[in-house]
Amino acid sequence: MNKKIQSALISVFYKDGLETIVQQLHSLGITIYSTGGTQKFIEQLNIPVITAESVTGYPSILGGRVKTLHPSVFGGILGRRDNETDVQEMKQFSIPEIDLVIVDLYPFEETVASTTDEKLIIEKIDIGGPSMIRAAAKNHKDVVVVASKADYSLLEQILAEQKGETSLEQRRTFAAKAFDVCTGYDIAISNYFNQTSFSNPFGAKKNVLRYGENPHQQGIFYGNLEDVFEKLHGKELSYNNLVDVDAAVQIIKEFTETTFAIIKHTNVCGIASRNTVKESWDAALAGDPESAFGGVLVCNGTIDKATAEAINEIFFEVLIANNFDADALAVLQTKKNRILLKQKPAALPTHQYKTVLNGILTQQNDVGNYTDWKESGGRETSATEKEDLIFANIVCKHLKSNAIALVKNKQLSGKGCGQTSRIDSLRQAVEKAKQFNFDLHGAVMASDAFFPFNDCVKLGHEAGITAFIQPGGSIRDNDSIEYCKQNNLAMVITGLRHFKH
């Protein structure tokens, strides 16, 4: 059922984008009510406005904490136009009908991000705003509610094309968005008081994807990707792209040296640190050129033309880098679908969330490489081995468990991941190294969790491994330690496990 807007209540913190709407409302003969700074803004446009105080009979009190919390305001919003009792009570108490509510909320999250002054933060907890938004959304059968300036353009279009009339479907759409705004706001306040960091999907854009993990699954991404990347080229990111891009961003932020990584199904299949971007790319690709096909590539440097020409020889889905030289972009943009992303220095979530059964699991991110560096083998690690062990342990941390990483000269030479036994992951890693002609003599091995038996160090030693890194914690740790001592092998116990499921 269509309804014509005859009155509007406007009270917003941010005034940008409001002028056009106010002028449209005035040209349509719609009565405007307002408060405080919004009222002054409208008056400066030489547009008539009725103050909320003249409706309630009360001024703004308690330093502005109470302005609109009054039956004359909420009755006008919540009154049911088709309910005779409501209509009579509104007449009895001289309550004006309010058909449009335009209200945004105090910038609570922005305040928390900019100060630790609790007094300022508390004052940015909006009370009247969410109350009016919820009231209008509840009564969307009769009332239009706009709770975000992101919806101004849609309201402008409706006012222009429908001359102030709205359909029930349109009002319901606005109401759904309004409840999302309130939910997101409450999540932010709850996070502050509980010192948690639950993500707020309702404060982000809703990006409907082509499909989910598979074509028969629906997929939606809630988030503002433009805060993290500048997209320079290519098609829209898919569900699987986004999952792999996240894995790529997580691993590359662990490195300060010039590093290139190749991600496939969230696992790193090639990674290396070198003096130049091109050298890093060549070494990363050599780690597993077969698996690199269709992967997500990530680098913490600037892509130059020489590197771009080398990358251009293979098929890949996404390339992420800190920057791209212009001539490199010209090379890479020759394929229309390939996605090129320039990474921005954005803050990322500190916690992870996963739906499990009928609830949600949450945990802190796995931060850090090792807590101890306990030399426990038959000798101390050499300087080169130590560098490789640190590198390998980071790589292993980003592989699906059970995980083994074999590294030599800061290059992934072989990896095993996602296996149900650790020895199987090691066999897989050794076979990968052999497949691509890596000499494992002098290489090192990282394990994401303890060695339950000494079979892994035995097999590693047979393959040429000279140093091991693992968190320890097995009741049979000594079996592996004793083997290393007997064979003059280095072993470091870190005290920090890196399971990844």
Q: Provide the 10 A C-beta neighbour count for residue 432.
A: 21
Query: Rounded to 5, what percent of the chain is helix, strand, coil?
Result: 40, 20, 40
Annotated catalytic residues are 138, 265
Q: What is the distance between the alpha carbons of residues 377 and 375, in angstroms, rounded to a whole number?
A: 6
CA distances from 411 to 22, 285, 357, 387, 444 (A): 62, 10, 40, 11, 11
What are the contacts of 395-398 at 24+ separation with CB within 8 A?
395/251, 395/268, 395/271, 395/446, 396/446, 396/447, 396/448, 396/498, 397/254, 397/366, 397/369, 397/448, 397/498, 397/500, 398/247, 398/250, 398/251, 398/254, 398/267, 398/268, 398/500
Task: For residue 485, give every residue at least 6 positions away whose Cβ sits within 8 Å of its Cβ, in sequence order, or none.
Answer: 377, 378
Q: DSSP class of residue 411?
A: B
One-letter amino acid at 172 equals: R
Q: Provide the 10 A C-beta neighbour count for residue 36.
A: 17
